[in-house]
Chains A and B, each alone.
Chain A
Amino acid sequence: MSAEDGQGRHPASIGDAPNREAWSDGFKTGLPTLFGIAAWGLVVGIAMVKSGLSVPQALGMTLLVFAGSAQLASLPLIAAQAPIWVIFATALVVNLRFVIFSALLAPHFAHLPWRQRFYLGYISGDLTVALFLQRYPTAAPAVGKLSYLKGLMFPNWIAWQVGSFVGIFLGSAVPAEWGLGFAGTLAILCIMVPLMINNAALCGVLVSGAISVLAYELPYKLGLLLAVLVGMVTAMVIEETIAKKKVSRG
Protein backbone atom coordinates (compact mmCIF):
# COMPACT_ATOMS: atom_id res chain seq x y z
CA MET A 1 0.00 0.00 0.00
CA SER A 2 1.38 3.43 -0.89
CA ALA A 3 1.95 5.87 1.94
CA GLU A 4 -0.13 8.55 0.27
CA ASP A 5 -3.70 8.66 -0.92
CA GLY A 6 -4.96 10.08 -4.23
CA GLN A 7 -4.77 13.68 -3.00
CA GLY A 8 -1.15 13.25 -2.01
CA ARG A 9 -1.96 13.30 1.70
CA HIS A 10 -0.80 10.85 4.31
CA PRO A 11 -3.76 8.47 4.83
CA ALA A 12 -3.68 8.84 8.60
CA SER A 13 -4.32 12.56 8.28
CA ILE A 14 -7.82 12.18 6.77
CA GLY A 15 -9.19 12.40 10.32
CA ASP A 16 -7.48 15.72 11.06
CA ALA A 17 -9.52 18.23 9.06
CA PRO A 18 -11.74 20.32 11.35
CA ASN A 19 -15.16 18.74 11.28
CA ARG A 20 -17.97 20.61 13.00
CA GLU A 21 -20.32 17.65 13.04
CA ALA A 22 -17.76 15.36 14.67
CA TRP A 23 -16.91 18.04 17.22
CA SER A 24 -20.53 18.44 18.27
CA ASP A 25 -20.95 14.65 18.26
CA GLY A 26 -18.08 14.45 20.73
CA PHE A 27 -19.53 17.31 22.74
CA LYS A 28 -22.96 15.64 22.89
CA THR A 29 -21.44 12.32 23.92
CA GLY A 30 -19.49 13.94 26.73
CA LEU A 31 -22.19 16.41 27.79
CA PRO A 32 -23.85 14.22 30.45
CA THR A 33 -20.47 13.56 32.07
CA LEU A 34 -19.65 17.27 32.47
CA PHE A 35 -21.93 17.57 35.50
CA GLY A 36 -20.08 14.74 37.25
CA ILE A 37 -16.69 16.10 36.20
CA ALA A 38 -17.51 19.56 37.54
CA ALA A 39 -18.76 18.07 40.81
CA TRP A 40 -15.52 16.12 41.07
CA GLY A 41 -13.47 19.25 40.33
CA LEU A 42 -15.46 21.02 43.02
CA VAL A 43 -14.51 18.38 45.56
CA VAL A 44 -10.82 18.61 44.66
CA GLY A 45 -11.02 22.43 44.78
CA ILE A 46 -12.51 22.27 48.29
CA ALA A 47 -9.92 19.70 49.38
CA MET A 48 -7.02 21.85 48.16
CA VAL A 49 -8.14 24.94 50.07
CA LYS A 50 -9.13 22.98 53.19
CA SER A 51 -5.75 21.21 53.29
CA GLY A 52 -4.05 24.59 53.62
CA LEU A 53 -3.08 25.67 50.10
CA SER A 54 -3.48 29.40 49.45
CA VAL A 55 -5.91 30.48 46.71
CA PRO A 56 -3.11 31.22 44.18
CA GLN A 57 -1.46 27.88 44.95
CA ALA A 58 -4.75 26.00 44.54
CA LEU A 59 -5.51 27.81 41.26
CA GLY A 60 -1.98 27.08 40.03
CA MET A 61 -2.30 23.42 40.94
CA THR A 62 -5.62 22.91 39.18
CA LEU A 63 -4.48 24.73 36.02
CA LEU A 64 -1.03 23.15 35.79
CA VAL A 65 -1.57 19.63 37.08
CA PHE A 66 -5.10 18.72 35.88
CA ALA A 67 -5.03 15.26 37.43
CA GLY A 68 -7.61 15.02 40.19
CA SER A 69 -6.55 11.74 41.75
CA ALA A 70 -2.86 12.78 41.82
CA GLN A 71 -3.81 16.13 43.31
CA LEU A 72 -5.93 14.48 46.01
CA ALA A 73 -3.16 11.99 46.80
CA SER A 74 -0.57 14.75 47.12
CA LEU A 75 -2.56 16.89 49.60
CA PRO A 76 -2.03 14.77 52.73
CA LEU A 77 1.63 14.37 51.76
CA ILE A 78 2.04 18.16 51.46
CA ALA A 79 0.33 18.61 54.82
CA ALA A 80 2.66 15.98 56.34
CA GLN A 81 5.75 17.74 54.88
CA ALA A 82 6.70 14.59 52.96
CA PRO A 83 9.89 14.78 50.85
CA ILE A 84 9.23 16.07 47.35
CA TRP A 85 10.49 12.90 45.66
CA VAL A 86 7.91 10.89 47.65
CA ILE A 87 5.15 13.18 46.38
CA PHE A 88 6.51 12.82 42.84
CA ALA A 89 6.66 9.01 43.11
CA THR A 90 3.13 8.89 44.50
CA ALA A 91 1.78 11.05 41.68
CA LEU A 92 3.54 8.86 39.11
CA VAL A 93 1.98 5.69 40.53
CA VAL A 94 -1.49 7.24 40.81
CA ASN A 95 -1.19 8.30 37.17
CA LEU A 96 0.24 5.02 35.86
CA ARG A 97 -3.11 4.02 34.36
CA PHE A 98 -2.67 6.93 31.97
CA VAL A 99 0.35 5.18 30.46
CA ILE A 100 -2.00 2.34 29.47
CA PHE A 101 -4.57 4.86 28.21
CA SER A 102 -1.98 6.72 26.18
CA ALA A 103 -0.78 3.44 24.66
CA LEU A 104 -4.36 2.93 23.46
CA LEU A 105 -4.98 6.46 22.23
CA ALA A 106 -1.59 7.63 20.91
CA PRO A 107 -1.52 5.34 17.79
CA HIS A 108 -4.64 7.15 16.54
CA PHE A 109 -2.74 10.42 16.37
CA ALA A 110 0.89 9.37 15.91
CA HIS A 111 1.13 11.41 12.68
CA LEU A 112 0.39 14.78 14.33
CA PRO A 113 3.13 17.34 15.14
CA TRP A 114 4.78 16.76 18.52
CA ARG A 115 3.38 19.88 20.18
CA GLN A 116 -0.17 18.82 19.40
CA ARG A 117 0.52 15.26 20.56
CA PHE A 118 1.97 16.63 23.79
CA TYR A 119 -1.05 18.72 24.75
CA LEU A 120 -3.63 16.17 23.52
CA GLY A 121 -1.96 13.60 25.76
CA TYR A 122 -1.66 16.02 28.65
CA ILE A 123 -5.37 16.79 28.90
CA SER A 124 -6.79 13.34 28.08
CA GLY A 125 -8.57 12.24 31.24
CA ASP A 126 -10.13 8.87 32.10
CA LEU A 127 -13.55 9.66 30.68
CA THR A 128 -12.24 11.22 27.48
CA VAL A 129 -10.22 8.11 26.65
CA ALA A 130 -13.02 5.68 27.51
CA LEU A 131 -15.64 7.56 25.46
CA PHE A 132 -13.29 8.08 22.50
CA LEU A 133 -12.35 4.40 22.29
CA GLN A 134 -16.01 3.42 22.42
CA ARG A 135 -16.55 5.38 19.19
CA TYR A 136 -13.20 4.56 17.51
CA PRO A 137 -11.96 1.17 18.78
CA THR A 138 -9.18 0.84 16.17
CA ALA A 139 -6.46 3.24 15.08
CA ALA A 140 -7.66 3.09 11.45
CA PRO A 141 -8.00 6.62 10.00
CA ALA A 142 -11.56 7.99 10.02
CA VAL A 143 -13.05 11.33 9.05
CA GLY A 144 -13.52 13.72 11.97
CA LYS A 145 -11.51 11.73 14.50
CA LEU A 146 -9.48 14.64 15.80
CA SER A 147 -12.51 16.93 16.01
CA TYR A 148 -14.44 14.24 17.91
CA LEU A 149 -11.58 13.94 20.41
CA LYS A 150 -11.47 17.70 20.87
CA GLY A 151 -15.25 17.86 21.30
CA LEU A 152 -14.87 15.43 24.20
CA MET A 153 -11.67 16.88 25.59
CA PHE A 154 -12.02 20.67 25.70
CA PRO A 155 -15.46 20.79 27.37
CA ASN A 156 -14.19 18.17 29.83
CA TRP A 157 -11.20 20.39 30.69
CA ILE A 158 -13.40 23.46 31.04
CA ALA A 159 -15.96 21.66 33.24
CA TRP A 160 -13.16 20.43 35.50
CA GLN A 161 -11.61 23.90 35.81
CA VAL A 162 -14.96 25.63 36.43
CA GLY A 163 -15.78 23.07 39.14
CA SER A 164 -12.35 23.46 40.72
CA PHE A 165 -12.51 27.27 40.68
CA VAL A 166 -15.95 27.22 42.34
CA GLY A 167 -14.59 24.77 44.90
CA ILE A 168 -11.56 26.96 45.59
CA PHE A 169 -13.53 30.19 46.04
CA LEU A 170 -16.82 29.05 47.59
CA GLY A 171 -16.06 25.48 48.61
CA SER A 172 -15.67 25.97 52.32
CA ALA A 173 -19.42 26.75 52.40
CA VAL A 174 -20.40 23.29 51.05
CA PRO A 175 -20.70 20.71 53.84
CA ALA A 176 -18.53 17.62 53.21
CA GLU A 177 -21.41 15.27 54.15
CA TRP A 178 -23.34 16.26 51.01
CA GLY A 179 -20.94 13.90 49.26
CA LEU A 180 -20.89 15.83 45.96
CA GLY A 181 -17.92 13.79 44.78
CA PHE A 182 -20.29 10.85 44.50
CA ALA A 183 -21.68 12.43 41.31
CA GLY A 184 -18.27 11.85 39.70
CA THR A 185 -18.33 8.23 40.82
CA LEU A 186 -21.78 7.76 39.26
CA ALA A 187 -20.59 9.34 35.99
CA ILE A 188 -17.75 6.81 35.82
CA LEU A 189 -20.20 3.98 36.56
CA CYS A 190 -22.33 5.03 33.57
CA ILE A 191 -19.31 5.06 31.28
CA MET A 192 -18.05 1.72 32.55
CA VAL A 193 -21.30 -0.18 31.92
CA PRO A 194 -21.19 -0.05 28.08
CA LEU A 195 -17.51 -1.09 28.22
CA MET A 196 -18.55 -4.46 29.64
CA ILE A 197 -18.89 -5.69 26.07
CA ASN A 198 -18.69 -9.42 26.86
CA ASN A 199 -18.40 -11.87 29.74
CA ALA A 200 -14.62 -11.53 29.76
CA ALA A 201 -14.87 -7.75 30.25
CA LEU A 202 -17.54 -8.22 32.93
CA CYS A 203 -15.27 -10.59 34.90
CA GLY A 204 -12.34 -8.20 34.48
CA VAL A 205 -14.42 -5.35 35.89
CA LEU A 206 -15.61 -7.41 38.88
CA VAL A 207 -12.10 -8.66 39.68
CA SER A 208 -10.58 -5.21 39.24
CA GLY A 209 -13.21 -3.60 41.48
CA ALA A 210 -12.79 -6.26 44.18
CA ILE A 211 -8.99 -5.97 44.20
CA SER A 212 -9.12 -2.17 44.31
CA VAL A 213 -11.08 -2.50 47.56
CA LEU A 214 -9.00 -5.33 49.07
CA ALA A 215 -5.67 -3.66 48.17
CA TYR A 216 -6.85 -0.16 49.13
CA GLU A 217 -4.39 0.02 52.02
CA LEU A 218 -1.31 -0.40 49.83
CA PRO A 219 0.97 2.68 49.81
CA TYR A 220 1.11 5.15 46.89
CA LYS A 221 -2.26 3.90 45.62
CA LEU A 222 -0.51 0.82 44.22
CA GLY A 223 -3.78 -1.05 44.81
CA LEU A 224 -5.31 0.81 41.86
CA LEU A 225 -2.56 -0.32 39.53
CA LEU A 226 -2.61 -3.89 40.82
CA ALA A 227 -6.39 -3.98 40.33
CA VAL A 228 -6.16 -2.80 36.70
CA LEU A 229 -3.42 -5.31 35.86
CA VAL A 230 -5.11 -8.32 37.47
CA GLY A 231 -8.47 -7.30 35.98
CA MET A 232 -6.97 -7.12 32.47
CA VAL A 233 -5.22 -10.47 32.80
CA THR A 234 -8.43 -12.07 34.12
CA ALA A 235 -10.45 -10.75 31.19
CA MET A 236 -7.82 -12.00 28.76
CA VAL A 237 -7.63 -15.49 30.29
CA ILE A 238 -11.42 -15.80 30.27
CA GLU A 239 -11.61 -14.62 26.67
CA GLU A 240 -9.08 -17.26 25.62
CA THR A 241 -10.83 -20.00 27.60
CA ILE A 242 -14.14 -19.18 25.93
CA ALA A 243 -12.46 -19.15 22.50
CA LYS A 244 -10.85 -22.57 23.15
CA LYS A 245 -14.18 -24.06 24.24
CA LYS A 246 -15.80 -22.84 21.04
CA VAL A 247 -12.99 -24.41 18.98
CA SER A 248 -13.16 -27.78 20.77
CA ARG A 249 -16.92 -27.88 20.21
CA GLY A 250 -16.24 -27.33 16.52
Chain B
Amino acid sequence: MADWEIWVVIGVLCVATAATRSAFWMIGHRVTIPPRVQEMLRYAPACALAAIIGPDFLIDTQGEVQFTLANPKLLAGVAAFAFYLWRRNMLLTILFGMLVFTALRVLHVFGAAG
Protein backbone atom coordinates (compact mmCIF):
# COMPACT_ATOMS: atom_id res chain seq x y z
CA MET B 1 0.00 0.00 0.00
CA ALA B 2 1.12 3.54 -0.74
CA ASP B 3 1.87 5.87 2.16
CA TRP B 4 -1.34 7.88 1.65
CA GLU B 5 -3.43 4.68 1.50
CA ILE B 6 -2.11 3.60 4.90
CA TRP B 7 -3.05 7.01 6.30
CA VAL B 8 -6.54 6.53 4.86
CA VAL B 9 -6.69 3.14 6.60
CA ILE B 10 -5.63 4.78 9.88
CA GLY B 11 -8.39 7.38 9.41
CA VAL B 12 -10.93 4.66 8.71
CA LEU B 13 -9.86 2.70 11.81
CA CYS B 14 -10.24 5.90 13.81
CA VAL B 15 -13.83 6.22 12.55
CA ALA B 16 -14.47 2.55 13.44
CA THR B 17 -13.30 3.19 17.02
CA ALA B 18 -15.40 6.34 17.36
CA ALA B 19 -18.46 4.67 15.88
CA THR B 20 -18.37 1.71 18.24
CA ARG B 21 -17.10 3.37 21.42
CA SER B 22 -18.66 6.83 21.32
CA ALA B 23 -21.93 6.51 19.38
CA PHE B 24 -23.91 5.31 22.37
CA TRP B 25 -22.48 8.08 24.53
CA MET B 26 -23.70 10.62 21.96
CA ILE B 27 -27.22 9.30 21.28
CA GLY B 28 -27.75 6.75 24.05
CA HIS B 29 -29.96 8.95 26.23
CA ARG B 30 -32.51 9.08 23.38
CA VAL B 31 -32.72 5.29 23.20
CA THR B 32 -34.43 3.18 25.85
CA ILE B 33 -33.00 -0.28 26.35
CA PRO B 34 -35.63 -2.88 27.37
CA PRO B 35 -35.12 -4.06 30.99
CA ARG B 36 -34.54 -7.65 29.85
CA VAL B 37 -31.68 -6.58 27.61
CA GLN B 38 -30.29 -4.45 30.43
CA GLU B 39 -30.33 -7.51 32.69
CA MET B 40 -28.43 -9.46 30.06
CA LEU B 41 -25.90 -6.67 29.52
CA ARG B 42 -24.79 -7.00 33.14
CA TYR B 43 -23.01 -10.18 32.10
CA ALA B 44 -21.41 -8.57 29.03
CA PRO B 45 -18.09 -7.43 30.55
CA ALA B 46 -17.26 -10.83 32.06
CA CYS B 47 -18.25 -12.67 28.85
CA ALA B 48 -16.33 -10.23 26.63
CA LEU B 49 -13.18 -10.59 28.72
CA ALA B 50 -13.52 -14.39 28.60
CA ALA B 51 -13.93 -14.26 24.82
CA ILE B 52 -10.84 -12.09 24.45
CA ILE B 53 -8.54 -14.32 26.50
CA GLY B 54 -9.99 -17.75 25.61
CA PRO B 55 -8.03 -18.05 22.34
CA ASP B 56 -4.87 -16.61 23.97
CA PHE B 57 -4.79 -19.52 26.40
CA LEU B 58 -5.83 -22.32 24.07
CA ILE B 59 -4.80 -21.54 20.50
CA ASP B 60 -1.15 -21.75 19.46
CA THR B 61 0.66 -19.67 16.85
CA GLN B 62 -0.32 -22.15 14.12
CA GLY B 63 -4.00 -21.64 14.93
CA GLU B 64 -4.40 -25.11 16.48
CA VAL B 65 -6.30 -25.72 19.72
CA GLN B 66 -3.82 -26.96 22.38
CA PHE B 67 -5.75 -28.49 25.26
CA THR B 68 -2.70 -30.39 26.57
CA LEU B 69 -0.02 -30.21 29.26
CA ALA B 70 2.42 -29.18 26.51
CA ASN B 71 0.70 -25.79 26.29
CA PRO B 72 2.67 -23.44 28.58
CA LYS B 73 0.08 -20.65 28.36
CA LEU B 74 -2.75 -22.93 29.50
CA LEU B 75 -0.76 -24.22 32.49
CA ALA B 76 0.52 -20.76 33.41
CA GLY B 77 -3.05 -19.44 33.10
CA VAL B 78 -4.40 -22.10 35.49
CA ALA B 79 -1.53 -21.41 37.92
CA ALA B 80 -2.17 -17.65 37.73
CA PHE B 81 -5.90 -18.19 38.27
CA ALA B 82 -5.24 -20.22 41.45
CA PHE B 83 -2.67 -17.68 42.59
CA TYR B 84 -5.14 -14.83 42.12
CA LEU B 85 -7.86 -16.64 44.09
CA TRP B 86 -5.34 -17.12 46.90
CA ARG B 87 -3.68 -13.67 47.06
CA ARG B 88 -6.21 -11.41 45.25
CA ASN B 89 -3.32 -9.29 44.00
CA MET B 90 -3.18 -8.54 40.30
CA LEU B 91 0.40 -7.36 39.93
CA LEU B 92 1.79 -10.36 41.82
CA THR B 93 -0.46 -12.63 39.76
CA ILE B 94 0.85 -11.22 36.48
CA LEU B 95 4.47 -11.60 37.64
CA PHE B 96 3.82 -15.12 38.94
CA GLY B 97 2.02 -16.14 35.73
CA MET B 98 4.81 -14.76 33.52
CA LEU B 99 7.38 -16.56 35.67
CA VAL B 100 5.54 -19.90 35.33
CA PHE B 101 5.01 -19.33 31.60
CA THR B 102 8.67 -18.47 31.02
CA ALA B 103 9.92 -21.39 33.16
CA LEU B 104 7.70 -23.90 31.31
CA ARG B 105 8.80 -22.47 27.97
CA VAL B 106 12.54 -22.29 28.67
CA LEU B 107 12.83 -25.56 30.62
CA HIS B 108 10.58 -27.46 28.19
CA VAL B 109 8.56 -28.94 31.08
CA PHE B 110 5.94 -31.41 29.75
CA GLY B 111 7.62 -30.97 26.35
CA ALA B 112 6.35 -27.41 26.20
CA ALA B 113 6.87 -25.99 22.73
CA GLY B 114 7.64 -22.25 22.70
Of all chain A residues, the one with the shortest Cβ separation from B114 is A177
Chain B 29-64 near chain A by CB (<8 Å), digits 1 or 0? 100010000011111111111111111111100010
B21 touches A121 (CB 8 A): yes
B44 touches A236 (CB 8 A): no
Question: Taking the complex as formed, is A45 at the interface, i.e. its CB lies under 8 A from any CB of chain B?
Answer: no
B12 touches A106 (CB 8 A): no
Q: Which residues of A contact B77 (CB under 8 A)?
A: 185-186, 189
Interface residues of chain B: helix, strand, loop or mixed (majority): helix
B54 touches A212 (CB 8 A): yes
Total residue contacts A-B, CB cutoff 8 A: 272
Q: Which residues of A contact B25 (CB under 8 A)?
A: 102, 105-106, 109-110, 117-118, 120-121
Sorting the interface of chain A by its residue count into under 10, 10 to 19, 20 to 34 or 35 or more gives 35 or more
Segment at the B interface, from A19-27, A154-162, A227-235: A227-235
CA A31 to CA B16, docked complex, whole Å: 28
Chain A 93-107 near chain B by CB (<8 Å), digits 1 or 0? 001111111111111
CB-contact partner of B63 in A69, A105, A216, under 8 A = A216
B45 touches A101 (CB 8 A): yes
The interface on chain B, measured as residues whose beta carbon lies within 8 A of the other chain's beta carbons, has a size of 68
Segment at the B interface, from A1-9, A164-172, A202-210: A202-210
Question: Taking the complex as formed, is B107 at the interface, i.e. its CB lies under 8 A from any CB of chain A?
Answer: no
Interface residues of chain A: helix, strand, loop or mixed (majority): helix
B5 touches A192 (CB 8 A): no
Q: Nearest Cβ distance between residue A163 and chain B, in whole angstroms?
A: 14
Question: Taking the complex as formed, is A17 at the interface, i.e. its CB lies under 8 A from any CB of chain B?
Answer: no
B20 touches A96 (CB 8 A): yes
CB-contact partner of B43 in A78, A114, A204, under 8 A = A204
Chain B 82-114 near chain A by CB (<8 Å), digits 1 or 0? 001100011101100110011001000000001
Chain A 180-192 near chain B by CB (<8 Å), digits 1 or 0? 0111011111111
A201 touches B89 (CB 8 A): no
Given contacts A99-B20, A186-B77, contact A228 B53 (CB under 8 A): no
Q: Which residues of A contact B81 (CB under 8 A)?
A: 189, 193
Among B23, B39, B44, which residue has the most Cβ atoms of chain A within 10 A?
B44
A101 touches B48 (CB 8 A): yes
Question: Taking the complex as formed, is B8 at the interface, i.e. its CB lies under 8 A from any CB of chain A?
Answer: yes
Q: Which residues of B contact A188 (CB under 8 A)?
A: 49, 52-53
CA A169 to CA B9, docked complex, whole Å: 22
CB-contact partner of A121 in B9, B24, B43, B50, under 8 A = B24
Of all chain B residues, the one with the shortest Cβ separation from A192 is B49
Of all chain A residues, the one with the shortest Cβ separation from B17 is A67
CA A213 to CA B101, docked complex, whole Å: 20
Given contacts A91-B16, A185-B77, contact A208 B51 (CB under 8 A): yes
CB-contact partner of B7 in A32, A57, A133, under 8 A = A57
Question: Taking the complex as formed, is A174 at the interface, i.e. its CB lies under 8 A from any CB of chain B?
Answer: no
A60 touches B7 (CB 8 A): yes
Q: Which residues of B contact A129 (CB under 8 A)?
A: 45
Given A71-B13, A102-B21, A106-B29, 13 more contacts at CB 8 Å?
A57-B3, A66-B17, A91-B12, A98-B17, A117-B22, A118-B25, A121-B26, A126-B49, A179-B73, A209-B51, A209-B53, A212-B52, A239-B39
